Amino acid sequence: MSAIQSHPKSRRLEAGTDVSTVQVDWIRIQSIRRDGGTQSRACLDPETLETYRRSLNEGEQFPPVTLFYDGESYWLADGFHRVKAHEVAERKEIAAEVKAGTRRDAILYSAGANATHGLRRSNADKRRVVETLLDDPEWRQWSDREIAARCHVSHPFVGQLRQERQGRKGEPAAPDVSEPSPRLAQRGGKTYTVDVSNIGGSLSSRTRNRHQKPSPAAPLVSVEPPTVKKGETWLLGRRHRLFCGNQSSRKLQALLPAEITLLLLFPSTSEEWLPSLPLEAQSVLAFYSQHLGEIHLETLRNIIYNSLSGTTDAEDTVVMLNLPDPSSFLLIEEMDCSSFCAEPDPSRCREALAAWAVTGQPIHKL
C-alpha cells in the first residue's frame, strides 16, 4: 500500500474511488460513519471537547483523524473528540488520513488508538477495547498477549477480563489444563496456533512460593493520600518502604538491606544512568529515556512485572530508584517481595500512597 503526500488542496474522495492508497484529505463530516462500534472510548469527555472547540476557533490546526474507507463508507477509527469538536464548531470538513479497509479494520485499529496520544485512556476505556475483541468470535481466539498488544494493555489484564467473562457465562474461570483452549497469534501477517498448556511452566520453580493475587494492573483510586515531604520515609503495609529523596541520600543508604535480589533503576537524567550507591544486587534493570514520563504506563508495568517474575522469588528484596509508575508497589506486592524505593518528587510519592491505598493495608510515616 503506497502513501500519497498530503496537501491542503487534495481532492475529496467519493464513493467508488480506488481504495488501494492511503492519503490525507479533507472529508465532509456528515459522511463519516461513527455508528459502527469503532469508538474505543467508554464515553467522550466534555472538557476535552470544549478545549478542542476553543482551540479550533483560535485557529489551531489539529492532526488528521483516521478513517477506513471500504468503497462506500468512511469508518472513523481514531479522532472522535476531534470530529465532534469540529461539528460543534460548525465546521463542515475535517482533515483525515484515509486508509483502505472495512469497519472491522477500523475497530481493530481503534483498539490501540489513544494509547500514546490524545486524552489519556481511563480504565473503562481499556476495559471496553479488550471486551470488544473478546466479544468477537474470531478475535477472542487470539492469545492474551496478542490481544494485549493490539489494545496496548498488559496481558494479565486481558487474562483477568477473559476469566471474568467466562465466570459470568457459568463456565470455569480457568481453562482445563488437560484440554486447553487454543489461542491464536499473528506474526508477520501469518496466524499461528499457540499451545497454552504449559504457559508458566518455565517459571514454576521460581514462583512456587508466591500467593495468588489480583492482576497487577492498577485500578483507579479515589483516596485522599497524606501529604509527603522530602526526607520522609513511609511504610506501606509491613514490607515496603518509600523514601522521598534522592538515591544518593545517606538516609536511604541506611535503609537498604545487605542483600538485594533485583535493582530497578529509572534515572530521570543521563547523569544518573548508573547508581552512585555501592549496591550489591543479583540482578539489575536500568531504563532511561528522555521521554520517560510520556511512555505508556502499561508498557512500563510490563517491563517491571516481567523483571520481577523472571528474577525474584517470594520474600526476595527489590530496590527501586525513582518511580515512573506510582503503582509499582502493587506489582512488587503481587510478587510477594519486599521493597525499598526512593523517589525525589513528593507529589509522585503521594500518588504512590494513593495507589497503595487500594490494597486496604496500612500506611505509616516512620
Find all residues with CB under 8 Å of 348, minimum gap 6, and list them: 323, 326
Asked whether the beta carbons of 317 and 339 are under 8 A apart, the reply is: yes
Asked whether the beta carbons of 308 and 331 are under 8 A apart, the reply is: yes
Asked whether the beta carbons of 245 and 231 are under 8 A apart, the reply is: yes
Find all residues with CB under 8 Å of 237, minimum gap 6, and list them: 333, 356, 359, 361, 362
Asked whether the beta carbons of 142 and 183 are under 8 A apart, the reply is: yes
Integer angstrom CA distances of residue 338 from 17, 154, 231, 235, 357:
61, 23, 21, 11, 17
Shortest CA distance to 36 belongs to which of 102, 131, 87?
Answer: 102
**pTM of full prediction above 0.75:** no
Return the C-alpha cell found at 27.
472529508
Residue type present at position 214:
P
Note the pLDDT of residue 265. Answer: 84
Q: What is the pLDDT along the chain (366 residues), one digit of tens a residue?
A: 223 233 333 334 443 444 344 467 899 999 999 988 888 887 888 888 899 999 999 988 889 999 999 999 999 999 999 999 999 999 999 999 999 999 999 999 988 886 666 677 777 888 888 999 998 989 989 888 888 888 888 778 888 888 888 766 554 433 333 334 455 544 445 554 544 444 333 333 334 345 444 444 444 344 567 888 888 999 998 889 999 888 777 777 777 777 888 888 887 766 655 555 556 778 888 877 655 555 566 777 888 888 887 788 777 888 888 887 788 888 888 778 888 888 888 888 888 888 888 777 888 898
pLDDT in tens, 258-294: 788 888 888 776 665 555 555 677 888 887 765 555 5
Give the number of other Cβ atoms within 10 Å of residue 172's Cβ.
9
Asked whether the beta carbons of 22 and 3 are under 8 A apart, the reply is: yes
Sheet holding 363-365, edge to edge: 281-286, 260-265, 317-321, 338-342, 240-243, 233-236, 363-365
d(Cα 302, Cα 348) in Å, to the nearest integer? Answer: 20
Asked whether the beta carbons of 296 and 115 are under 8 A apart, the reply is: yes
Note the pLDDT of residue 184. Answer: 52
Shortest CA distance to 125 belongs to which of 59, 41, 67, 32?
Answer: 41
User: In sequence order, what are the beta bridge partners of 168?
Assistant: none
- Phi, psi (rounded to 5 degrees) for 190: -110, 150
Note the pLDDT of residue 334. Answer: 79
Integer angstrom CA distances of residue 278 from 255, 312, 337, 350:
13, 21, 22, 28
Please name the residue ranges forming H helices in the chain: 46-57, 80-88, 103-111, 123-135, 144-151, 155-168, 204-207, 250-255, 297-311, 328-334, 346-356
Going 34 to 124 to 337 to 229, the CA torsion angle's sign is positive
pLDDT in tens, 137-170: 899 898 888 888 888 887 788 888 888 887 665 5
Kindly write down the DSSP assignment for every residue of 306-360, as one continuous string. HHHHHH--TT-EEEEES-SSTTHHHHHHHTT-EEEEE-S-HHHHHHHHHHHGGG-
d(Cα 323, Cα 316) in Å, to the nearest integer? Answer: 19
